[in-house]
């Protein structure tokens, strides 16, 4: 198929490169000229495992990028909308969605070929058949269902494993306004034999995406609430508590003669300093706000969000239990990315932690193997020291706060060994064995 994709962020570029790899002809569209140039030069605009190799193999052949949306739509049968949908001013901000829909609508004006527009961004239920349909119809002068098709096909990728997620999809959700629109979305995924497909109306497809993310966020905040109680009571280690929970037959299947199999949901039932990134925080808030606006308040999700917002401060509190006055103390923060294997720092728990340390007068050094270059954007010029290596980041530290589960941080105990006085390690991910360093404090344990 000939496919245009509007927006070349995490979702747009991964979808584009993977569809091209599977034989579709893809044109990626972005307002950002530098991203377009990089893509055309075969350079990945984001850090994502496997993306550079795959992009190189399709750039200039089955995939190209442009800032000219009108030409891209004219050359395609299907246009996917993959622009950002931030949370702003107490609700989802749909300005980029509306702008793209209007631009696509204008591109369709005067054309006669049937074209299908598909929303791939995460949007609150009702957006595709409401705002998007209206914008397309007004600008194109054509009727949805007759002049053009319309649908919603949510993206479920996890940053850091996005290519793998695309190739081994667990489900394909097809939310079309009619059979012809559904068929066009279905055709995009030709070759994904055996992957379960859910066909629904666009609002249901939109809701599937939110319900999926809300479940994961709830699992995280549930565990963090348990962890905070364990830490407060003392003498209980949340890691062991959750090990016991994970072994429940609802999460772990143990069949005679076979290795036990634990459901991946258990990864979200682990204590930490809270969820971040470009999806869970904004999606939970957007859905709760959408519920409230139609008179169906979402108390559970509001609490999930409140627990998450408060969680990074727990790390600073653990530090202060040992070091009440942080003025002038040298604290190293390990990890800026909201999770390992990505350079995405949106809504990272590192941000509130560093801000609270700076407000308390600490001298902060940060280190992240991939996202370190974004420290200045996050915190402003000169407010924190940015270390070039893990070893350098620890050299002067009196305390270390671990935020991101980068594999490299497993070397922290080895690098701190023998130091006198021993720096305190505050483990925000419970990835280091408490006994592996001389001074340890962790979420859901308190000081060990
Ligand atoms: P992003 O912010 O990384 O990228 C959006 C891109 O769209 C930017 O490059 C921007 O320049 C471009 N853009 C904005 N308006 C445009 C316009 N009118 N015309 C052309 N280009 C335009 O966003 P993202 O992380 O890829 O997320 C996109 C959507 O997908 C969001 O709704 C998000 O919630 C959803 N989503 C994201 C992920 C993820 O892991 N990042 C996973 C699933 C779903």
3-state SS assignment for residue 339: coil
CA-to-CA distance for 418 and 220, rounded, in angstroms? 35
- One domain for residues 196 and 314: no
Q: Which of 5, 6, 8, 11 to mutate to test the pocket of ligand 1 (most atoms within 8 A of CB)?
A: 11
In a domain? residue 398:
yes
- One domain for residues 320 and 173: no
Q: Which of 278, 343, 345 to mutate to test the pocket of ligand 1 (most atoms within 8 A of CB)?
A: 278
Which one has a higher pLDDT value, 216 or 448?
216
pLDDT category at 446 given cuts 50, 70, 90 is: low
265 CA → ligand 1 middle, Å = 26
What is the pLDDT at residue 129? 98
What is the pLDDT at residue 342? 87
| Domain end point (choices 167, 200, 233) | 200
Task: Kindly report, residue by residue over 374-403, the tens digit of the pLDDT.
Answer: 999 999 999 999 999 999 999 999 999 999
When the pLDDT of each residue in the chain is averaged and rounded to a whole number, the result is 96
CA-to-CA distance for 378 and 384, rounded, in angstroms? 10
83 CA → ligand 1 middle, Å = 3
Ligand 1 atom nearest to 159, measured from its CA: 40
CA-to-CA distance for 333 and 378, rounded, in angstroms? 13
| Domain end point (choices 182, 200, 218) | 200
| Domain end point (choices 175, 200, 225) | 200
Q: Does the structure show a pLDDT above 60 at 104?
A: yes
In a domain? residue 16:
yes
In a domain? residue 96:
yes
- One domain for residues 332 and 193: no
Query: 257-296: b or e for each residue (b if 16 or more CB lie within 10 Å)?
Result: eeeeeeeeebebbbbbbbbbbbbbbbbbbbbbbbbeeeee
What is the pLDDT at residue 448? 54
In a domain? residue 206:
no
Give the mean pLDDT of 240-255. 95
Ligand 1 atom nearest to 11, measured from its CA: 26
What is the pLDDT at residue 447? 55
In a domain? residue 359:
yes
Task: Kindly report, residue by residue over 35-92, the tens digit of the pLDDT.
Answer: 999 999 999 999 899 999 999 999 999 999 999 999 999 999 999 999 999 999 999 9
In a domain? residue 169:
yes
What is the pLDDT at residue 257? 93
Number of domains in the chain: 2
- One domain for residues 195 and 321: no
Q: What CATH number has the domain bearing residue 329?
A: 3.40.50.720
> Which sign does the torsion angle of CA 229, 235, 239, 242 carry?
negative
Q: Which residues are catalytic?
A: 279
Task: Kindly report, residue by residue over 171-230, the tens digit of the pLDDT.
Answer: 999 999 999 999 999 999 999 999 999 999 999 999 999 999 999 999 999 999 999 999
- CA distances to 257, 366, 389, 395 from 392, in Å: 48, 10, 5, 5
Residue nearest (by alpha carbon) to ligand 1 atom 4: 9
What is the pLDDT at residue 159? 86
Give the mean pLDDT of 93-109. 98
Model pTM? 0.93
- CA distances to 136, 191, 271, 315 from 322, in Å: 59, 57, 21, 11
In a domain? residue 280:
no
Domain that holds residue 133: 2-200
In a domain? residue 235:
no
């Amino acid at each position: 198929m000939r496919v245009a994709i509007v927006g070349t962020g995490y979702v747009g570029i991964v979808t584009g490169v993977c569809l091209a790899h599977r034989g579709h002809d893809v044109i990626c569209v972005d307002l950002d000229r530098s991203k377009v140039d990089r893509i055309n030069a075969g350079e990945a605009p984001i850090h994502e495992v496997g993306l550079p190799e795959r992009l190189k193999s399709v750039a200039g052949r089955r995939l190209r990028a442009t800032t000219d949306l009108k030409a891209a739509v004219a050359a395609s049968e299907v246009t996917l909308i993959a622009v950002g949908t931030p949370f702003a001013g107490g609700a989802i901000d749909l300005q980029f969605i509306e702008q793209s829909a209007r631009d696509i609508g204008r591109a369709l004006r005067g054309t006669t070929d049937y074209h299908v527009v598909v929303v791939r961004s995460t949007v609150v239920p009702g957006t595709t058949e409401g705002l998007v349909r209206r914008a397309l119809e007004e600008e194109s002068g054509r009727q949805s269902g007759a002049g053009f098709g319309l649908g919603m096909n949510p993206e479920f990728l996890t940053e850091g494993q996005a290519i793998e997620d695309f190739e081994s999809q667990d489900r394909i959700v097809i939310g079309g306004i009619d059979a012809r629109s559904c068929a066009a979305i279905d055709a995009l995924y030709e070759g994904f034999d055996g992957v379960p497909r859910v066909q629904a109306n666009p609002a249901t497809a939109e809701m599937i995406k939110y319900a999926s993310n809300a479940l994961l966020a709830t699992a995280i905040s549930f565990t963090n609430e348990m962890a905070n109680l364990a830490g407060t009571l003392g003498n209980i280690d949340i890691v062991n508590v959750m090990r016991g929970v994970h072994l429940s037959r609802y999460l772990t299947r143990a069949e005679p003669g076979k290795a036990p199999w634990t459901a991946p949901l258990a990864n979200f039932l682990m204590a930490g300093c809270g969820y971040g990134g470009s999806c869970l925080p904004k999606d939970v808030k957007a859905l709760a706000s959408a519920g409230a606006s139609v008179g169906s308040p979402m108390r559970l999700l509001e609490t999930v969000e409140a627990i998450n917002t408060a969680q990074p401060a727990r790390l600073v509190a653990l530090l202060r239990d040992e070091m009440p006055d942080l003025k002038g103390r040298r604290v190293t923060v390990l990890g800026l990315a909201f999770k390992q294997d990505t350079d995405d720092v949106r809504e990272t728990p590192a941000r509130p932690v560093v801000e609270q340390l700076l407000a308390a007068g600490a001298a902060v050094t940060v280190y992240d193997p991939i996202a370190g270059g974004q420290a200045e954007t996050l915190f402003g010029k000169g407010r924190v020291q940015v270390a070039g290596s893990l070893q350098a980041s620890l050299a002067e530290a009196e305390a270390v706060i671990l935020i991101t589960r980068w594999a490299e941080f497993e070397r922290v105990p080895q690098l701190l060994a023998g130091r006198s006085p021993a720096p305190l390690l505050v483990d925000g991910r419970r990835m280091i064995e408490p006994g592996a360093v001389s001074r340890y404090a962790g979420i859901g344990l308190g000081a060990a």
